[in-house]
Amino acid sequence: MLVSEGEAHFFTDPRYTGEAATVPAKSHVAKGLLILGVASTIKRKRLRKVGFEPSWMDMDQHGRLEKALDRRASLHPVASLIEEQRAVKSPEEIAIIRRSVQANSEAYARTLKRIRAGLKELEIAAELEFQMKVLGSEKPAFETIVAVGDHSALPHAHPTQRRLEKNELLLIDMGATLDGYTSDMTRVAFTGKPPKRVRELYRAVLEAQLAGLDAVRPGVSVKQVDAAAREVLKRHNLEKEFMHSTGHGLGLEIHETPKIGKKEKTKLRAGMVITIEPGAYLPGFGGVRIEDTALVTERGCEVLTPTPKELVNL
């Protein structure tokens, strides 16, 4: 996209000629490199100063664009210009996110009925993603995380051929994409009667997650929300075991502004959709993370995720 005052230009290749007609912009179907089409439009429109999204334009494209412009226009990185505008969702967007969250939770509930010891992480992940699609999701919002036993101590574990056994932790972190909008949820189950260490770990993380949600309201800075969750884990001597941020915004992308982290200063505003997902990870033993998708409302927050938060006993 090239956006100037009162005009938007959309560049694509001949494979998308049909779809391009539905884009609310002037569309250009280029046979060669799209970036060269962008350059010629910039020159034709006599634009002098052009901003670009540094986290999306790669070095190769930037180099080609700069060369093609031949000093007739200058390029300036404008970080998070679009992201800031996307942080607060419209009522229409919130309605779609609600549906995405519901499909995600329903896919989890349907899969949970089929999970038993003996299944592989990859098989459980495949079932979750199958159910998501049956429920109208076009794709997962990210690589579905299914981690059994000590794998659950890896915050971003990749599913493997490992089989779920009796008396093991099972961590599932999943998100759907529905009509373009994402959802995100983490739940933890145990196959058998959970031992004291698991129950205590779970209780501490749940307490932290509830404290995080409780701190969410307009005007509060995200680092206060992060601190609310982090302090609970600190009280349970699990401060070092919680090594990631408390949450993130989501929408068209799975990670959007604001990041709910220790050093972030953004203030929450009504209409933001965020996750609250503290966790604690004990290497060689296992980990627990509990994650909901929540909407910042005028008065506080509404947890959109309908899935219960008790430790599931399989």
Q: Which residues bind Zn ion (CB under 5 A)?
A: 173, 184, 186, 275, 291
In the complex with Zn ion, the residue whose CB is nearer, 35 or 146, is: 146
| Distance linking the first and last C-alpha atoms of the chain | 49
For residues 36-47, one letter each, b for 16 or more C-beta atoms within 10 angstroms of the residue's C-beta and e for the rest, the string is: ebbbebbeeeeb
In the complex with Zn ion, the residue whose CB is nearer, 177 or 275, is: 275
CB of 244 to Zn ion, least distance (A): 9
Pairing of strands 185-190, 312-313: parallel
Task: Classify the C-alpha dihedral 223-225-229-231 as positive or negative.
Answer: positive
In the complex with Zn ion, the residue whose CB is nearer, 28 or 86, is: 86
Residue with tokens 């929450």: 268
In the complex with Zn ion, the residue whose CB is nearer, 127 or 291, is: 291
Tokens representing residue 220 in the block: 């509060």
CB of 3 to Zn ion, least distance (A): 30
Burial, 107: exposed, middle or buried (Cβ in 10 Å; 0-12, 13-18, 19+)?
A: buried
Tokens representing residue 168 in the block: 């093991």
Tokens representing residue 122 in the block: 């990859």
In the complex with Zn ion, the residue whose CB is nearer, 39 or 172, is: 172
CB of 186 to Zn ion, least distance (A): 5
CB of 255 to Zn ion, least distance (A): 8
- Residue 15 DSSP symbol: G
Residue 22 CB contacts under 8 Å (≥ 6 apart), including other chains: none
CB of 258 to Zn ion, least distance (A): 13
CB of 31 to Zn ion, least distance (A): 40
CB of 110 to Zn ion, least distance (A): 19
Complete DSSP assignment for 38-93: HHHHHHHTT--EEEE-TTTS-HHHHHHHHHHHTTSSEEEE-TTHHHHHHSBPPHHH
In the complex with Zn ion, the residue whose CB is nearer, 73 or 183, is: 183
In the complex with Zn ion, the residue whose CB is nearer, 152 or 186, is: 186
Residue 67 CB contacts under 8 Å (≥ 6 apart), including other chains: none
